[in-house]
Amino acid sequence: MIRVLSASKDCYITNKIINNRFRATDANVGQAGSLDLFKLYNESSVPDEEKPIENSRILLKFELDTIKSMQNQGKVNVGDSSFKAYVKLHDIYGGQTTPSNFNVIVFPLAKDFDEGQGFDIVEFKDLGSTNWMTASYKAGTLTEWSLPGANKSGSLGDADIDVIVSGTFAGQSSAISLCSEQLFLTGEEDLNIDVTNFVSASVKSLISNKGFLIAFSGSYEKDNNSYFVKRFASRNTANTALRPKLIIEHDSSIIDNHSNFIFDYTGSLYLNNFSRNGLSNIKNDDNSDIGVENSMILKIRSGSFQKNFAVSQALNGANRITGVYSSSFALSSYDPEISTALKTNSELEFKEIWSSVDESITFLSSSFKVKKNKRTSFEFSERRLFVKTLNLNDRYQSSDIVRIRLFIENADREVVFTKGPLEKKSEIFENVHFSVKDAVSGKVIIPFNTSNKSTKLSADSKGMYYDFYMSSLPRGRAYIFEYLIVQGDTNTYITDAASKFVVE
């Protein structure tokens, strides 16, 4: 699962010297089209200061209620190792002088800030909060930064600080860092910085979400060099693709092996329980939910062969998935009953019975086939795979959440002739990923992510699928999907050019 959230507010604060006369410490630029990060050393003069330093710092906030809701629904697990959160700001280099070889640091804010209505980035004549001296003004109450420029740092729980460097949370014996740094070599890079620790803690309500402060790291703010100007797009820029983003990544894939179970290898079978409102837990006779661990049994039968396996409510990281139950097991081809049948068959059909632990109630009775593992003499040939997106519309609203299904066919498959109607089923692969490209420019908007598997497809008895949040794409553009099928050391890239769609 990958989801992109937009900033709810942003601005930058500065103590820039204006016309060698005074500092613009009360200026607000909350409606500016850019977020400017700069440091000037002895570039201007101001009364009573020798070799003055001028700085700016960026303030940025993303609302996390969406992620909290997904966590409560079991759609993400912020405690899982695959859960990652990144703040991304897009560079908008426009030919201006740009600094190079510097570090930028991101801190969680300890105080709320107002975005403000200012947009003058030349004379800095628009006054208001937030600015270099004040954080906010609400209900007649003015909140000042503890130090000008939101420059007072401390640990979680410390009083009267502006930014939080680290924190110790429940169940932890030592503090974890809540700040992150990024090195800019050329100065033209985007900011893409890991804020997983803070987002995870905030979703768990262990720390309040006040937003972030982005600045040059301490040594760069204090040295005798100038860094002017690193410019990022703000949320007010006309190009929606360049606005600040919080990118949430999580491996929420599920691989059901009903269609590709193989002897001697562990596979997983899943049962989904639906009510009128969608997935829901199976009920006991007293209308309570059945248990989550070893809550039923799965009986596997074929001829004289029979085995029972424990079933539990399926997990997404550490979270149980509502209405989904699974059992993982292996069937040995060396079992006497099975090995005898496999002498004349390449696959065997098994009956599957999902029942209560005492076997008094049957929840589902079905069947599935288990195949021999394919063995050939040594050969190397890249399979020709045909991939088609099945249920994609031409247009979507940004608020749409779509379950997209994929059909994958091996063009080099063995042809089997049959007299009756034959339904072609999609092949199932254990490791398939999607990416999204701009249909016009070809620019990759969402890249393949094979490291923490946030773009990995799931599989069920019908084929392969993934849930996609259209809000993750800028509106008003056309897009296409590209797929990566990983088989051992072989990567197969397929562009589904017919899958063009527009987000409105």
Token look-up 């797009």 returns 233
Domain with 453, as residue range(s), is: 385-503
Q: Is residue 408 part of a domain?
A: yes
Q: Is residue 221 part of a domain?
A: yes
Q: Is residue 430 part of a domain?
A: yes
User: Is this prediction's pTM over 0.85?
Assistant: yes
Integer Cα distance of 70 and 399 in angstroms? 15
Output the six-digit token pair for 282: 């199976």
Least Cα distance to 59 among 93, 100, 127, 110 occurs for 110
Residue 170: enclosing H or E segment and its boundaries?
none
3-state secondary structure of 196: helix
Q: Is residue 128 part of a domain?
A: yes
Same domain, 76 and 214: yes
Integer Cα distance of 300 and 369 in angstroms? 11
Same domain, 362 and 395: no
Output the six-digit token pair for 59: 């303030």
Same domain, 358 and 400: no
**In this predicted model, what pLDDT tens digit does every residue of 161-215 receive, in sequence order?**
999 999 999 878 899 999 999 999 999 999 999 999 999 999 999 999 999 999 9
Same domain, 113 and 211: yes
Same domain, 176 and 323: no
Least Cα distance to 303 among 255, 338, 329, 266 occurs for 338
Least Cα distance to 24 among 11, 15, 32, 35 occurs for 15
**In this predicted model, what pLDDT tens digit does every residue of 126-157 receive, in sequence order?**
999 999 999 999 888 999 999 999 999 999 99
Neighbours of 49 (CB within 10 A): 12
Integer Cα distance of 211 and 162 in angstroms? 11
Integer Cα distance of 455 and 408 in angstroms? 17
Q: Is residue 365 part of a domain?
A: yes
User: Which residues does residue 484 pair with via DSSP β-bridges, in sequence order?
Assistant: 433, 493
Same domain, 450 and 326: no
Same domain, 241 and 267: no
Integer Cα distance of 27 and 351 in angstroms? 73
Cβ neighbours of residue 286 closer than 8 Å, sequence gap 6 or more: none
Number of domains in the chain: 3
Same domain, 132 and 269: no
3-state secondary structure of 200: helix
Q: In the listed set 249, 284, 299, which residue is the last one of a domain according to the structure?
A: 249
The per-residue pLDDT for 357 is 94
Question: What DSSP line would sit under 185-236, residue for residue?
Answer: SSS-PPEEEE-HHHHHHHHTTSS----EEEEE-HHHHHSS--EEEEEEE-TT
Q: Is residue 497 part of a domain?
A: yes
Integer Cα distance of 435 and 433 in angstroms? 7
3-state secondary structure of 471: helix
Q: Is residue 380 part of a domain?
A: no
Same domain, 126 and 153: yes
10-residue mean pLDDT series, the chain (504 residues):
97 97 96 97 94 97 96 87 96 88 98 96 94 94 97 96 95 91 96 97 96 96 95 95 96 94 97 90 92 96 95 86 95 95 94 95 96 72 79 96 92 60 78 96 95 95 94 95 91 89 96
Same domain, 244 and 275: no
